[in-house]
Amino acid sequence: MPSVICFDVLTLFPSIFEGFLSESVLKGALAAQKIEVRLHNMRDWADDKHATMDDRPFGGGPGMLLKVDRVVPCVEEIQHQQQPGRLLMFTPQGRCFNQRFAEELATEQRIVMLCGRYEGFDERVAEILKPEEVSIGDYILNGGEVAAMVVIETVMRLIRGVLGDEDSNRFDSFSTGNRILDCAHYTRPREYRGFSVPEILLSGNHAEIAQWRNNNSLQRTKEKRPDLLVTASGNSSPKN
Ligand code: ADE
C-alpha cells in the first residue's frame, strides 16, 4: 500500500470541497501529507466566452449533458501531468462502491475522479476515456461531488498512520474478513433516564468483555443486517 495517495477531482464546483477538506481527520491527513487532493475546475477547459460546459441532448429530452469536447481534453491533460491514475467516473449506473472497493483503491498511488452534473455525460466521454463507472448507491444525486467525498474519506482511513491508532480501521465493519457490524459502545454517565450501561462492561474482566462484544456484534448483525451473515458463511458471494 502506498504511503501517500493523490486524489485528483475534476468538478464544476470545487468550492463544495472546501469545508470537507478543512476539518478533522481529513485536515490532519492533508497536513501530514498522507493524502494529497487536487481540485480542478473543468470550466477552465471551456474556451468560449461563456465557458459553456453543457448542451442539450440530441433527440430531445430533459436536462443538459456535459460536453465531450470539454471533458475529454480536461481529463487527458490532468492524467498526463504525472503518472496517469486510476480513472473513476461517478454515475448512478456504475459499480457500487463499498468497503472492498475502497480497500482496492487504497493500493493506488493516484486516483482521478470525474464528477458529473446535470443529466450526466455525453456517452462518448466513457467511450473515449474508458473510466471505471462508480455509483455510491441506488439513488440519484445532483452530481458526483458527494460521491467523490465518500471515496476520499473511505479510502484515506485505510492509509497507514492516518487514524490515530494504527489498528483502528482493521476492525471496521465491512472490511475484508470482518463482514459483521460493530458492537454497541457506551460512555459516561453509567445511567441515563433509566437506561444503564451493561454491567459486564464495568467489570474490568477483559475476556468476558471481549466475549460480550462478539456476541453483541453477532446479535446486532442478525437483527439489522442479516444479509451480511449469509455472505460471511459463503452462501452467496457478491461481486461488488
Ligand atoms: N451521480 C448521481 N447519482 C449518483 C450516485 N448514486 N452515485 C454516483 N454518482 C452519482
Q: Give the pLDDT confidence of 144-185 residue by residue, as tens digits.
A: 999 999 999 999 999 998 887 665 776 677 877 778 999 999
Q: Which residues of 43-78 are buried (b: 16+ CB within 10 A; e: fewer)?
A: eebbeeeeeebbeeeeeeeeeebbbbebbbebbeeb
| pLDDT tens digit sequence for 3-42 | 799 999 999 999 999 999 999 999 999 999 999 999 999 9
| pLDDT tens digit sequence for 100-150 | 999 999 999 999 999 999 899 999 999 999 999 999 999 999 999 999 999
Containing 220, the helix (H) or strand (E) segment is: helix 206-224
Looking at ligand 1, which residue's alpha carbon is closest to its atom 4?
92
C-beta of 217 in contact with ligand 1 (< 6 A): no
CA 217 / ligand 1 centre spacing (Å): 31
Its pTM surpasses 0.75: yes
CA distance 129 to 86: 11
CA distance 218 to 44: 51
CA 72 / ligand 1 centre spacing (Å): 20
Concerning whether 92 is annotated as a catalytic residue, the answer is: yes
- Report CA-CA distances (Å) from 219 to 32, 169, 204, 224: 39, 21, 22, 9
CA 239 / ligand 1 centre spacing (Å): 19
Q: Which domains does the chain have, with CATH numbers?
A: 5-156 (3.40.1280.10), 179-240 (1.10.1270.20)
Concerning whether 119 is annotated as a catalytic residue, the answer is: yes
- Report CA-CA distances (Å) from 192 to 93, 183, 187, 189, 202: 46, 20, 11, 6, 15
Asked which of 11-15, 45-49, 125-129, 217-221 is least confident by mean pLDDT, the reply is 45-49
